[in-house]
C-alpha cells in the first residue's frame, strides 16, 4: 500500500470524489483520516488531513498520472451539466442531486487515453 496524495482540509471534499474516480478506473484505494473530521476540534489539524492511499503498489504510477490529470483540469471545482436532466451542478458534486445521475468520471480525460 502506498500513499498517493495528502489533501488539505480545504480539499477534503475532493478526497472522496477522487477515490470514486480512481475506483471506476479499476484502482483500489482508500481514504485515511476521513472519519476523523467528526472529531475536528479535538485533534490537531495536521493529523486530520485526509490521505488517499493506493492498495496495490503496482498500479500506483497509473493512479498517480490519473490523479495528476484530474487535479490539473481541476475536476472537482469545475461546474458541470448533468447529461441526463440538464441541471447545472457545482464541481464538488459527484452526482446530480436532482436525478441522481453520476458525473462522468471520464469527462475530459477520454482524449488522453491511448
Ligand atoms: Zn440530473
User: What's the pTM value of the predicted model, to 2 decimals?
Assistant: 0.58
In the predicted model, what is the mean pLDDT of residues 60-64?
Answer: 96
Distance 80 CA to ligand 1 centre (A): 11
pLDDT digits (tens, 9 = 90+) for 4-31: 999 887 777 788 889 998 999 999 999 9
Residue 91 sits in which domain range? 2-112
User: What residues form DSSP beta bridges with 39?
Assistant: none
SS3 category, 43: strand
In the predicted model, what is the mean pLDDT of residues 69-94?
Answer: 82
With CA atoms as reference, report the closest residue to 59 among 85, 86, 33, 23.
23
Distance 8 CA to ligand 1 centre (A): 29
Q: How many domains does the chain have?
A: 1
Q: Look at residue 67 and tell me whether its pLDDT is greater than 70.
A: yes
Distance 46 CA to ligand 1 centre (A): 37
CA distance 27 to 92: 21
Amino acid at each position: 500500500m502506498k500513499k498517493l496524495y495528502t489533501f488539505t482540509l480545504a480539499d477534503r471534499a475532493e478526497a472522496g470524489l477522487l477515490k470514486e474516480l480512481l475506483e471506476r478506473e479499476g484502482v483500489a484505494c482508500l481514504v485515511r483520516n476521513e472519519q476523523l473530521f467528526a472529531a475536528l476540534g479535538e485533534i490537531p489539524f495536521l493529523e486530520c488531513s485526509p490521505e488517499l492511499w493506493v492498495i496495490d503498489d503496482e498500479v500506483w504510477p497509473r493512479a498517480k498520472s490519473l490523479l495528476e490529470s484530474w487535479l490539473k483540469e481541476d475536476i472537482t471545482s469545475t461546474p458541470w451539466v448533468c447529461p441526463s436532466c440538464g441541471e447545472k451542478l457545482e464541481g464538488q458534486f459527484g452526482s446530480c442531486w436532482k436525478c441522481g445521475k453520476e458525473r462522468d468520471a471520464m469527462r475530459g480525460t477520454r482524449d488522453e487515453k491511448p
